[in-house]
Amino acid sequence: MTSIITPGYAPIEQYSKRGNQGAWTDIYALGAVCYHALTGQLPYDATDRVRVDPLEPAVERCRNQAADGFLSAIDWALRVDEQERPQSVVAWRAALAGDQPESPPDLPQGPVGGPGVEKPLRRLKRIGGWTAGAAAILALLIAGVYLIHEYVHPSEQQPVTHEVESETETESEAEIARQEEEARQREDRISVLLSGAREDLSPAQESNRRSLNRTRNGCLTVR
């Protein structure tokens, strides 16, 4: 499998022809899209994160921007070792939605709009901000799937078209050559039969044979 390396978005297994690539490879790239969208910083190249990882986890850097479970899922997708990442989109999607914000507490007794209501309202606004942020990131994920498909693995698509066209053209040429060879063999057999039978023909039969040959040659010329 041949792939184009996109710094910051490509996991470590894409730097080797023998790398173990799979769903976790694209999940890493999607995690990088989310990290970049939240922090404004592109993750370090995977090769720079092998021994000492300088990348600050999203759960620490963006603690007040989204739910901890959501941020932890992004960090999970960005693990350097592919075996430590989500092994399927289903597993990662569950992790993204797994840490639901806790339900707001019961409103304390007191006048409506008084001090006892002010704090829960602020908390609801904060939860709403988390939900909006998560929705924006999920929209980026959809766009990221398209980008990864088009730009991370472009070489997997185009050569296939050329290969199919080449195979079709080769098969057509082989079929034409086979038909021409069969036609030559038939003509050779007919010539042998005709030459062997000429000695036994009467003058009238010989005249008919020549007339048939002229007719056959004329048909072949027209065709």
Mean pLDDT confidence for 125-138: 52
pTM of the entire structure?
0.48
Tens-place pLDDT, residues 50-61: 999 999 999 999
Q: Are the CB atoms for 89 and 76 separated by under 8 Å? A: no
What pLDDT sits at residue 157?
A: 43
Instruction: Please tell me which residue, 99 or 87, carries the higher pLDDT value.
Output: 87
What pLDDT sits at residue 119?
A: 47
As a whole number of angstroms, the distance between CA 11 and CA 210 comes to: 79
Instruction: Please tell me which residue, 132 or 84, carries the higher pLDDT value.
Output: 84
What pLDDT sits at residue 192?
A: 56
- The band of 177, judged by pLDDT with boundaries at 50, 70 and 90, is confident
As a whole number of angstroms, the distance between CA 72 and CA 100 comes to: 13
Find where tokens 């038909």 sit: 179
- The band of 21, judged by pLDDT with boundaries at 50, 70 and 90, is very high
Q: How far is CA 25 from the centre of its chain?
A: 11
Does the structure show a pLDDT above 60 at 201?
no
- The band of 141, judged by pLDDT with boundaries at 50, 70 and 90, is low
Instruction: Please tell me which residue, 121 or 94, carries the higher pLDDT value.
Output: 94
Locate the domains of the chain by residue range. 12-101+124-156, 161-222
As a whole number of angstroms, the distance between CA 8 and CA 28 comes to: 10
Does the structure show a pLDDT above 90 at 63?
no
Mean pLDDT confidence for 71-77: 95
Among candidates 115, 113, 38, 117, which has minimal Cα distance to 78?
38
Q: Residue 54: CB partners within 8 Å, gap ≥ 6?
A: 44, 48
Mean pLDDT confidence for 157-181: 64
Task: Determine whether 84 is exposed, middle or buried from the number of CB atoms within 10 Å of its CB (0-12, 13-18, 19+).
Answer: exposed
Does the structure show a pLDDT above 70 at 19?
yes
Q: Are the CB atoms for 89 and 23 separated by under 8 Å? A: yes
Q: Are the CB atoms for 80 and 53 separated by under 8 Å? A: yes
Instruction: Please tell me which residue, 90 or 180, carries the higher pLDDT value.
Output: 90
**1-15, 150-164, 194-208: which is most confident:** 1-15
23-26 own/partner pairs: CB under 8 Å, 24+ apart = 23/86, 23/87, 23/88, 23/89, 24/82, 24/85, 24/86, 24/87, 25/82, 26/145, 26/148, 26/152
Instruction: Please tell me which residue, 18 or 122, carries the higher pLDDT value.
Output: 18
What pLDDT sits at residue 202?
A: 65
